[in-house]
Amino acid sequence: MYRDSDVQSSRLTVILACLLLTVAPIGLGRVLAQEMNVIASPQPDSVIAIVGGNLIDGNGGPPLKDSCILVRGEKIVKVGKRIDSSIPQGTEVLDVSGKSVLPGLFDSHFHSRDSVEQPVEFELHNGITSFRDPGHPFKYYRTLLSSDATIPRVFLCGGHLDAPPVVWPDQAAVITTTEESRQAVFDHVDRGASAIKVYFRLPLEHIRAACNAADERHVPVTAHLELVDADDAINAGVIGIEHITSFGTTIATQDQVEQFKSLVTADSAARGEWRYRLWAQVQIDGNPRVDELIDLIVERGVYVSPTLAVFERRAGKEDATPVEAAGFKNMLSFFRRCHQAGANVVVGSHTWAPLAGPGKAYLRELELLVEAGMTPLEVLTSATKTGAEFFGVADRLGTIEAGKLADLIVVEGDPSKTVGELDRVSQVMLNGRWVGLDD
């Protein structure tokens, strides 16, 4: 039976009460999503001009050199070339010549548990101004949301929907009927969830019920899959796929899939080894199942959050086996095909990655997306504009344009040429206010 007995702090309750008044459909079944936290605003008459930078606005076009971005209060009011810009008297001017200016980054897959330090040090200080935790209970965020620290915009899904025997009992909404699946969605959205996550033991009929309920409440459903095939989940209404491994059972042969599902059904922990075994055997090129799945992903506008860095295995590193290395190579190849076909790609760090240092999983993910065939500029668009679209906030975030909220970052160098330059974030603006990176 569905259960979620989390008791919210008084501050969170107030935030959620306010949230319910602001959530409203904006068409096509999507929601005008709201973050869980209240973001401080500067004085409405404060004016800041950021001049001289290489502007990468998030829309995917070539950078604008020697730019001027004018911010009044919490909003961007003008963007253009410095030579064409009139700066009001009394404006605070920051010259960022030789640096790049970008929208704040979006992390589509970040997990935190009773931590203030990780969202600040792993995310905000690395230029990530918005993140979503796909599938952890609201109670995990009491500490963060009650903190006085300056933190990124926090978007939550609530506990993921799973079926017995659940893998993470303390994290799941346990579902045994379609009605419980629907009710879990309604309860989560009432408490502030701007998306719903379904987990890998949830049967297809319960995924479909969750998608129908989510559509009624104008929120998207994203999925971590192992036992339900990705094409079936997408046809049921799932619009986001977490992890490249979620596609494995759709593109492998019947014998391979039956073996994988049998082992994982009997023991959830088996997926750790058998994901790689399955992917090491998958044929990517010349496989009609791959072609059909990618066509479906593109046709339905599915958002792919591959979290490649979590699964990275390389021969000779971290005791990776040949099977693991071969499996990861095929994951990269499949993702390359998705990108080439025009799939929506977003960037998720999953907080930690085996070949990345603390707080650098997101950066490693960006580097792997480039390795898999995306250009640095395409990766930056995925990390900003496409991420905002997936979160349902593209009307106010994700690009540097007049009328948008002023979430932006300043970076040493030019990440549109070398994405690794994003490791050199020098300044972060959140809602029109500079964030102290040494705090």
Give me the pLDDT at residue 31, please: 53
Give me the pLDDT at residue 436, please: 81
Q: In 301-419, which ranges are continuous DSSP H helix?
A: 308-311, 322-341, 361-371, 376-381, 387-391
For residue 345, what is the enclosing H or E element? strand 344-345
Backbone angles phi, psi at 46, to 5 degrees: -75, 140
Q: What is the mean pLDDT of residues 295-300?
A: 98
Q: Rounded distance, CA 380 to CA 261, Å?
A: 36
Number of residues written out for the chain: 439
Q: Which CATH superfamily includes the segment(s) 105-391?
A: Metal-dependent hydrolases (3.20.20.140)
Number of neighbours of residue 119 by Cβ within 10 angstroms: 24
Distances (CA, A) of 259 to 2, 252, 311, 322, 436: 30, 11, 21, 20, 52
The domain locations on the chain are: 105-391
pLDDT tens column, 36-76: 999 999 999 999 999 999 999 999 999 999 999 999 999 99
Across the chain, what does the average pLDDT equal? 92
Tell me how far apart the terminal alpha carbons of the chain are, to the nearest angstrom: 44
Token pair for 183: 């009710």
Give me the pLDDT at residue 318, please: 87
Give me the pLDDT at residue 10, please: 32
For residue 144, what is the enclosing H or E element? helix 142-145
At residue 159, the 3 state secondary structure works out as coil
Q: At residue 338, does pLDDT exceed 90?
A: yes
The pLDDT confidence band at residue 119, using thresholds 50, 70 and 90, is: very high
pLDDT tens column, 179-230: 999 999 999 999 999 999 999 999 999 999 999 999 999 999 999 999 999 9
Give me the pLDDT at residue 438, please: 59
